[in-house]
Amino acid sequence: MKKLHHILFICGFVLSFSACSELLIEADPADNPVENFELLWREVDAKYTLFDFKNIDWQAVYQKYRPQVNEKTTDEALFNVLSAMLNELKDGHVSLIAPFNAASNRSWFFNYPPNYNANIIDRNYLKEDRRIILPFRTQWVDSSVAYIRYSSFSDGVSGESMNELIKYYGRAKGWIIDMRDNTGGSLGNVDAIMRRLVSAKTKVGAVQYKIGPGSNDLSKFFPYYIEPSESASKYLGKIVVLTNRKVYSAANFFTSAMSVLNNVTILGDQTGGGGGAPYSGQLLNGWSYTFSTTLLLTPDNQHIENGVAPDIKLDLAPADEAKGVDTMVERAIEILKG
């Protein structure tokens, strides 16, 4: 009987503890419009890195948008409020994605000339006999000048592809690297390309991280180096990088990093910017979002969030475009042959 009482006591204790622990464990926030608003605002408040640089009062943004949300707010209305709130950041790395809609800021290129005509490049410069060395599309545009088109840093660059590129175009007097309309991707591809374009360890930028909840709680500056490839296959000749306003994120950093090299000329329009590296998360209702939490800067710690200015400012001339001529490519050829 004592044994039975002992067992019953233990069982009662376990059941009581289980019930108490359920009370002590904080329940997940409810999936409702108010909680989703609060979660997104807090996430940005704690992790976004550009409040001070952009002179944004995020508390004032809260006061502006919070009254627009209550527990009866529809999904459509909530999406509109949250996307408008995020748009206050004026950041191309910011996005909000729901099953029925997606929002992002595109002001960094929308109000500027395109300065790129893919049809002209394909027909009159790459032509039918272009050489594809994935992820690059290439061609000789003069007997001594190579044209190299790279559309997205999301397309992986391998050591083999760089070997092939240098094998076919290593004898060129100059390279034109066309970055126009490249909206970014992986920073790893920046390194993969530039390792074959330098002969010594080179500081090409800096990195800074968010380390606390305050708007200016940022880490010290960490140098960003490019180490030359151990391979003997490198190209150290003259290079012209073509840019327009749709050069963003990793492509923006590539432009900034390349501008450090003495043999490189940046030609075209100012890049679109995107000096942060994006962070992604999910709301309680399953919607996903992104915003910048890491900063990429110049070697002397200057922001490139608003873009990189070219060494030579040049637009695509309408008269040239009408004749099927790319003003920037032609000028680049002149520079490289000069």
Q: Can you give the residue ranges of every domain in the chain?
A: 33-110, 112-197+234-272+307-337
The whole model's pTM is what? 0.89
- pLDDT score recorded for residue 44: 97
Q: Residue 267 in contact with residue 314, Cβ under 8 Å?
A: yes
Enumerate residues 6+ apart whose C-beta is below 8 A from 240.
Answer: 174, 175, 176, 177, 264, 265, 266, 267, 332, 335, 336
Cα–Cα distance measured from residue 81 to residue 287, given in angstroms and rounded to the nearest whole number: 14
DSSP-assigned letters across all residues of 201-223: -EEEEEEEEB-SSSTT-B---EE
**Mind listing the pLDDT tens digit for each residue in 104-132?**
999 999 999 999 999 999 999 999 999 99
Q: Residue 289 in contact with residue 243, Cβ under 8 Å?
A: no
Amino acid code (one letter) for 44? V
- pLDDT score recorded for residue 28: 54
Cα–Cα distance measured from residue 46 to residue 33, given in angstroms and rounded to the nearest whole number: 20
Task: Give alpha helix (H) positions in the chain.
Answer: 2-24, 33-47, 51-54, 58-65, 75-87, 107-110, 118-120, 159-169, 187-194, 250-258, 318-322, 327-337
Cα–Cα distance measured from residue 260 to residue 311, given in angstroms and rounded to the nearest whole number: 11
Max CA separation in the chain (angstroms): 104
Closest CA to 216 of 44, 48, 39, 43: 48
Write down the CATH number for the domain with range 33-110: 3.30.750.44
Cα–Cα distance measured from residue 160 to residue 142, given in angstroms and rounded to the nearest whole number: 25
Q: Is the peptide bond before 135 cis (omega within 30 degrees of 0)?
A: yes
Tell which CATH classification among 3.40.50.1400, 3.40.50.300, 3.90.226.10, 3.30.1520.10 matches the domain 112-197+234-272+307-337.
Answer: 3.90.226.10
Intervals of the chain under pLDDT 50:
1-27
User: Which single residue is written with the structure tokens 């032609």?
Assistant: 330
- pLDDT score recorded for residue 230: 87
- pLDDT score recorded for residue 109: 94
Taking each helix axis from N to C terminus, what angle separates 75-87 and 33-47, rounded to the nearest 10 degrees?
Answer: 20
